[in-house]
Chain A
Amino acid sequence: MQYNLRLDTFEGPLDLLVHLIEKNQLDISEISLRKVAQQYLDYLNRMEEMDLEVASEFLMLAAELVQLKTKTLLPGGKKKRGSPPVETDLVKRLFFYRRVKKVTELLKDLEEKRLGVYERNSDHLIYFLSRYEDQEKQRENPLEGIHLKQVVAAFNRARIDARARKKREKSREEKWQELEGETYTITEKMEEILDFCQKFPRGFPFGRIIKNIENPQEKVVSFLALLELIKSKKIKIGRGTSVQKLIIKGG
């Protein structure tokens, strides 16, 4: 539990390193880094033991520290290359990070001082408006957490939506007007076809029924009526002079 609380307070691997260096009362330097490298690794192990996901940033820095340690173990390796950039970079970064931490604390102080200072603003106005408008709900602010800007934005959105919807409806009306006409029923069409059969006892071509129909709906209904008639054996279908032509006859 104790660890958990402490783990949460680190903002990242640099934060942890600065903490370790300060805890060991060291200055920020390559030598210090080598000294605290093991503690850093121990810390990551503890995180893992507690089933905390060790962020990749922590691992990357661990690799840097290990590299730093191994370099010193290689005889003469450091002298030949002079100052390897990785080491100086990390030291530089730590110095800089520590300064950032300092000004972060300064900002925190400023914030703390300002938190208790209040200016006039619309949030107060909204609070009082609601208070006076509704004495019953005096303790509740119906607009709690809602900024005036949001209300205005919501209103504008609604207005734009309404306008767009109207426009859509209008264009839809224009597009589909001619289709919305009469409705056709299968019974009606069945009678129509039977009428034809009486008129032409010797049969008539199928095309005749739908020849003058433009409305696709009417066409479909007529066809369904035809099928219905065939099914109930009220009409017969026969082949005409050519293969494609179908002749309809009363049953």
Chain B
Amino acid sequence: MSSPANLKGAVEALVFLASEPVNIDEMAQALEVDPREISQAIEELKQEYNEDERRGIQLDELAGGYIFSTRLEFGEYIRRLHKPKLKQRITQASLETLAIIAYRQPITRAEIEDIRGVKAEKALFTLVKKDLIKEVGRLEKTGTPILYGTTDAFLKHFGLSDIEQLPDPDGLRGEGGPDLHKESPDEEETREGDR
């Protein structure tokens, strides 16, 4: 086995057939070339596809990998012929919970409920079932509550390559926040119990 003479074509072929985003390292391994060469080929392909308005497909960076997808303007025709079923809007309640998790992860249910002011159990259940969030760990605290974080499916649903890409004009991500959890009823109960 050797590396292909037409590397860009090879990369195009690999991405074309993929039903899940393929990442640069996977392609570098299959083509036996340096990952940097793959990146270069990807950049060229991106230019060819994404900057040409006449194209029907685009090269997307999604969840850390690359995948071809159809352009937004043709969505209606795709729906007519292919009747794809999977893409569903997330309900408002779930979306709010998902936003909190996306911007404040890892986060516990109690913290989410403090922020929203309502119960989040049902929304969390739905989001886990839809694979948009997952358990990413446990908080070392009484009851070791589950910490939630977003998944690759989340990135794909919103067309993001990674979580850093989330638009954050308000600086909600990474910021300390209002220290809400300190005042949560949960914590107060534990404190009283300790006394």
Binding site for B on A (CB under 8 A): 9, 11-15, 55, 57, 61, 85, 89, 92-93, 95-97, 99-104, 106-108, 110-111, 113-125, 127, 141, 144-145
How many B residues touch the partner, as a band? 35 or more
A35–B20 Cα gap in the complex (Å)? 53
Identify the 8 closest CB pairs spanning chains A and B, nearest first.
A116-B75, A12-B118, A114-B159, A14-B117, A92-B178, A104-B99, A110-B158, A119-B69
A103 touches B168 (CB 8 A): yes
Known: A103-B172, A104-B95, A114-B87. 15 other contacts (CB 8 A): A11-B118, A14-B117, A15-B117, A96-B177, A97-B116, A102-B169, A103-B103, A107-B102, A110-B158, A110-B160, A115-B75, A118-B70, A120-B19, A122-B19, A127-B83
Question: Does B90 lie at the interface of the complex (its beta carbon under 8 Å from any beta carbon of A)?
Answer: yes
Say if the beta carbon of B167 comes within 8 Å of chain A. yes
- The number of residue pairs between A and B whose CB atoms lie closer than 8 Å in the complex comes to 138
Tell me the bound Cα distance from A11 to B82 in angstroms. Answer: 35
Q: Is B93 an interface residue (CB 8 A)?
A: yes
B170 engages A12 (CB within 8 Å): no
Q: Which residues of A contact B166 (CB under 8 A)?
A: 103, 106
Stretch at the interface among B2-10, B36-44, B60-68, B133-141: B60-68
Q: A96-B180, A106-B167, A111-B90 are in contact. Are A119 and B67 (CB under 8 A)?
A: yes
**Would B118 and A57 count as touching, CB distance under 8 A?**
yes
Tell me if A's interface is mostly helix, strand, loop or mixed. Answer: helix
Nearest CB in chain A to that of B82: its residue: A124
CB-contact partner of A115 in B89, B98, B116, under 8 A: B89
Which of B102, B159, B170 meets A117, CB within 8 Å? B159
- B157 and A114 form a contact (CB under 8 A): yes
B183 touches A57 (CB 8 A): no
List residues of B (150-177) whose CB comes within 8 Å of A's CBs: 156-160, 166-170, 172, 177
Q: Out of B86, B100, B119, which one reaches A121, CB within 8 Å? A: B86
B76 close to A (CB within 8 Å): yes
Least CB distance from A171 to B in Å reads 37
Closest Cβ–Cβ distance, residue A120 to chain B (whole Å): 5
Taking CB as reference atom, which chain B residue is nearest A128?
B82
Task: Name the residue of chain A whose CB is nearest to the CB of B92.
Answer: A11
Chain A to chain B contacts (Cβ below 8 Å), 5 pairs = A11-B93, A89-B183, A115-B87, A117-B70, A141-B83
